Amino acid sequence: MLQTLLPILIFAALAVGAAGAVRRIRLWRQGQRTPMRWYRLVLMPKRYLNDLHHVVARDKAIAHTHVATAGGFVAAMALALVVHGFGWRNPILGGLLLAASLCMFIGALAVNRRRIDPSAKLSKGPWQRLSKSLLAYSVGMFLVSLPLVGVAPTLLGGGVLAIVLSAVLVWGLLEMVVGMGWGGPMKHAFAGSFHLAFHRRPERFDDNHADAVHDVHRGSRSTALFPLDLTAKTLGVEKPADFQWEQLLGFDACVQCGRCQNVCPAYAAGQPLNPKKLIQDMVVGMAGGNDARYAGSGYPGIEVGKHHGGPNAPIVPQLVEAQTLWACTTCRACVEECPMMIEHVDAIVDMRRFITLEKGETPEKGAAAIDNLIATDNPGGLDNASRLDWAADLEMPRIQDRPEGVDVLLWLGDGAFDMRNQRTLRALVKILRAGGVDFAVLGDEERDSGDVARRLGDEATFQRLAERNIATLSRYRFARIVTADPHSFHVLGREYGAFGGDYRVLHHSTFIAELFDGGRISVEAPAQAETVTYHDPCYLGRYNGEFAAPRQVLAALGLEVAEMERSGYRSRCCGGGGGAALSDVPGKARIPDMRMEDVRETGATTVAVACPQCTAMLEGVVEPRPRILDIAEMVAAALVEPATASTTRTSTEAPEEVPA
C-alpha cells in the first residue's frame, strides 16, 4: 500500500508546493522591475555556503543545528524523490536516505531543544510548529524507508501502522514542501535562495569585487545608500510595490531569528522600532492582510494586530507608524547580524525619502536642519563663513593659497561649529603640525557633506550639497582627504562616487596610526596607568571596516584597552546617527545612557571616541561618568614635540599665507 501511496504523496506535495511558489514569485514581482540576470542563480550555492554561513556561524550551536537539519532535509528529499518517487528502490540509496533522515532528526532534536523555552528574540506560532514538523518529516521518512534495506519488511505493508505512518509523512511534506511555496516558515529556504542569487548588493559577496581590502570586514563591502532618481514620478517608497522587487524578495527571506531585534539600539531603548517586526510588516504589506498572525516581539509601545496593509496601500501609517521609521539610527547593526543578508537600513531610508520628499513630514527638528542646510549649507543655520572661527589663532593654511596642491586636505565637517568638537579639531591640527604634515583646509568653501540630509530622506538636498562639494573639490589639488568625522568620511569616501567624486579619504584615526607607523610623531608614556575603552563609531567600523587603526593608536599611546562586550563590528550605536538625535523619538531609556553602562562595565575611567556625534551623545550622559576623549585629544596631550622647524615655521611663514 505504501509503495503506491508514496509517489502520489511526494509528487502531489511537489505540485502543490510549486503552485504556491509561482504565486509567491508573483508577489515579489509586484515590486519595481530591474533587468533579470538569470545567470546569478549559479552564484547561489557559493553565497549560501560561504557568505551566509559566515554570519550564521557566529552562533556555533545554531550553525551546526542548521547544517544537520537543512543538509539532512535536502539530501533526504532528493533521495526520496529518486527512491520513493521514481521507484528506484536501490538498497544503497535506501541506506543513504536513512542516514540523511537520521541526520535531519538529530538536527531537529536540537531545534526542539532550543524551542522548549524559546528566548524573546524568537518568533513562536508557526515557527514553534516547524520544530515538530521537522521531527515528523525525519521520523516518517526514516520509517517508510526502512524496508529498503530489508529491515521490518512485513511490518509496514499495510494496516493501521501504514496509515499512521502516511499521516506523519503527510504532515512533514505539508510543512516542508507545500509550506515552502505557500508561505509557511519553510518559505525562508525558497525565498532565501533566490534572495541570495538576486541580492541588490552583489558586492556584499565575494564575487565581482576587486577591492580585496574590504575582505577584512565583510559587512562593510557595500554600505553606500543607493542614489535616488529625482526625476522619478514619485520619490521614495510609499507602498510596498514601490520597493525594488529584490527588496520584496529579501523581506520574504526573513527567518525571524530575532538577531536584529537583539542588537537594535532603538529596540533596547524602548523606542517603537523592531527591525524583525518591520521586515514582517513589509511581508504583510506585500501579500496583503494584517499583522495579527505575527508571533514575535512587536514594536515597543505599539500593539501587534492593529495594523494592515496591501501591495498598493500606503505603508505609513496603516502598516507602520512614522515614529518607527524615525527611531532608526541607521547604525546597521541589524544588517550586520542578519544571516539572510536583508537590508533593513535601505528599506527604512527608502520610506523616509517618501515622507520627506513627498509628504513633507520630517520630524520638526529634522525639517529645521534640512531648511538650514538649504539656506546656509550647515544644519545649524550658522554663517558658513564662521566655519574657521575656532581656529582664528591657528593660522590655518588655506587650500586657496596652495595652487600647487597639498598632501592632505583637512575636512572639518560640521563639528567645526560645535565648541566641544573644536577641541578635537585643535588637537588634530596640533598633531598634523607635529608630524610635519603638508595640509590645508577649504575654510568657508566647505559645505556639509549632506550625511544628515540623506539619512533623513532628503535626497534632493543631499545631491545638491554633493554636487557643490564635488565642484569645489575639483578646483583644488590634494592627494587625500583627512577628516575627524566618520560621517563625512563615509559620505565623501563612499557615497560621492556615484556623483562623480572619487577621493582617497582617511579617517583621522587611520592617518594618526600612519604617522605613528612612519615615526613622524612621538609620544610620552602615560604618567599613570589608566584603563580606557574604545567606542567604535558605526560609520567608521561597521560601515567602513576600520576597527584596527584607533586601537593601534591607543596601543601606541601605551594604553591598555578594556574592550566592551559589544565592540568592533558588534559595537552598540551612541544614538546620534541617521538623524535620530534630531527626530528624538521618545523611549524608555536613552541610547547613550545604555552605551555608557557598557563602558562602566569595563571599569574604564576614560572612553576613547573617534566621532563628533558619539562625543556629543556620550557627553550628554549625566555625571559621574567616565570621561570622554577623542583619540586626537589623547594623542595631542601625550605629544612630545620635537624641536624641529614644523612649529617655528607656522609662526614665521604663516602670516603671509593667511589671506586678508
Partner 1 sequence: MPQPEPRDTAKMPQRVKTAALVSSGRHPVSGRAGRAREDARAVEMGLSLVGADLSLAHAGDPEQASLRESLQGYLGMYHGLDDDRDGQLSLLPLGEGGDAVPLLAAWLERSGVRLALTGQRAECGEGSGMVGYLLAERLGWAIATGVAAIEHCDGERVTVLQALPQGQRRRLEVRLPCLIAVDAVAEAPRQSAFGPARRGRIDIVDDLLPPDESPLDADSADWHWQPARARPKRLKVVKSTNARDRFKAAAAKSSASGGQVLTDLSPEEAAEKLIDYLRAEKILAQDDQ
Q: Across-strand partners of 440?
A: 409
C-alpha cell at 390: 575656532
| Best CA proximity match to 507, nearest among 467, 562, 545, 533 | 545
Element (H, E) at 21: helix 2-28
| C-beta of 395 vs 444, nearer to partner 1 | 444
| C-beta of 107 vs 450, nearer to partner 1 | 450
| C-beta of 62 vs 382, nearer to partner 1 | 382
Smallest separation, CB 460 to partner 1 (Å): 4
By CB under 8 A, which span of 52-60, 350-358, 553-561, 641-649 interacts with partner 1? 350-358
Smallest separation, CB 167 to partner 1 (Å): 56
| C-beta of 456 vs 638, nearer to partner 1 | 456
Task: Tell me the residue length of the chain.
Answer: 660
C-alpha cell at 371: 531648511
By CB under 8 A, which span of 10-18, 210-218, 379-387, 428-436 interacts with partner 1? 379-387
Q: Name the residue with cell 614635540.
A: 641
By CB under 8 A, which span of 161-169, 456-464, 466-474, 494-502 interacts with partner 1? 456-464
**Residues whose CB is less than 8 angstroms from the CB of residue 116 and which lie 6 or more positions away in sequence, other chains included:** none
Grouping H, G, I as helix, E, B as strand and the rest as coil, residue 505 is strand
Q: Across-strand partners of 409?
A: 440, 481
Q: Name the residue with cell 550555492.
A: 45
| Best CA proximity match to 552, nearest among 509, 491, 595 | 509
- Does residue 361 touch partner 1 according to CB under 8 A? yes
CA angle 54, 563, 267 (to 5 degrees): 65
| C-beta of 90 vs 386, nearer to partner 1 | 386
Smallest separation, CB 357 to partner 1 (Å): 5
Smallest separation, CB 453 to partner 1 (Å): 11
| C-beta of 32 vs 522, nearer to partner 1 | 32
| C-beta of 76 vs 357, nearer to partner 1 | 357
Q: How far is the CA of 506 from the CAs of 54, 164, 475, 483, 488, in angstroms? A: 28, 67, 20, 7, 10
Q: Which of residues 531-570 bind partner 1 (CB under 8 A)?
A: none
Smallest separation, CB 375 to partner 1 (Å): 4
- Does residue 375 touch partner 1 according to CB under 8 A? yes
By CB under 8 A, which span of 27-35, 246-254, 338-346, 376-384 interacts with partner 1? 376-384
Smallest separation, CB 273 to partner 1 (Å): 22
CA dihedral 246, 237, 492, 196 (to 10 degrees): -10
Among residues 290, 384, 422, 606, the one that binds partner 1 under rule CB under 8 A: 384
632-657 per-residue burial string, b: 16 or more CB within 10 A, e: under 16: bbbbbebbeeeeeebeeebeeeeeee
| Best CA proximity match to 14, nearest among 246, 135, 265, 182 | 182
| C-beta of 99 vs 367, nearer to partner 1 | 367
Smallest separation, CB 360 to partner 1 (Å): 3
Among residues 359, 426, 468, 600, the one that binds partner 1 under rule CB under 8 A: 359
By CB under 8 A, which span of 251-259, 285-293, 455-463, 586-594 interacts with partner 1? 455-463
Among residues 106, 460, 470, 589, the one that binds partner 1 under rule CB under 8 A: 460
Among residues 291, 336, 343, 458, the one that binds partner 1 under rule CB under 8 A: 458
The two beta strands, 308-309 and 289-290, are: antiparallel
| Best CA proximity match to 167, nearest among 9, 18, 16 | 9
| Euclidean distance between CA atoms 657 and 655, whole angstroms | 5
| Strand ranges in 339-426 using DSSP code E only, listed in sequence order | 406-411
| C-beta of 51 vs 458, nearer to partner 1 | 458
Q: How far is the CA of 432 from the CAs of 462, 546, 650, in angstroms? A: 30, 20, 12
Smallest separation, CB 362 to partner 1 (Å): 6
| Euclidean distance between CA atoms 354 and 314, whole angstroms | 10
Element (H, E) at 325: helix 322-326
| C-beta of 312 vs 605, nearer to partner 1 | 312
Smallest separation, CB 246 to partner 1 (Å): 24
Smallest separation, CB 386 to partner 1 (Å): 10
570-582 per-residue burial string, b: 16 or more CB within 10 A, e: under 16: bbbbbbbbbbbbb
Q: x/- contact string, 221-250, with partner 1 (CB under 8 A)?
A: ---------x---xx---------------
| C-beta of 63 vs 367, nearer to partner 1 | 367
| Euclidean distance between CA atoms 539 and 550, whole angstroms | 14
| Euclidean distance between CA atoms 272 and 579, whole angstroms | 16
- Does residue 362 touch partner 1 according to CB under 8 A? yes
What's the order of all strands across the beta sheet hosting 478-483? 439-441, 406-411, 478-483, 505-507
- Does residue 381 touch partner 1 according to CB under 8 A? yes
- Does residue 215 touch partner 1 according to CB under 8 A? no
- Does residue 606 touch partner 1 according to CB under 8 A? no
- Does residue 335 touch partner 1 according to CB under 8 A? no
Among residues 374, 470, 548, 637, the one that binds partner 1 under rule CB under 8 A: 374
By CB under 8 A, which span of 103-111, 142-150, 271-279, 454-462 interacts with partner 1? 454-462
- Does residue 382 touch partner 1 according to CB under 8 A? yes
Smallest separation, CB 256 to partner 1 (Å): 34
Among residues 97, 279, 315, 357, the one that binds partner 1 under rule CB under 8 A: 357
| Euclidean distance between CA atoms 658 and 160, whole angstroms | 97
| Euclidean distance between CA atoms 449 and 414, whole angstroms | 9
| C-beta of 252 vs 459, nearer to partner 1 | 459
Residues lying near partner 1 in the complex (CB under 8 A): 230, 234-235, 356-362, 367, 370-371, 374-377, 381-384, 458, 460-461
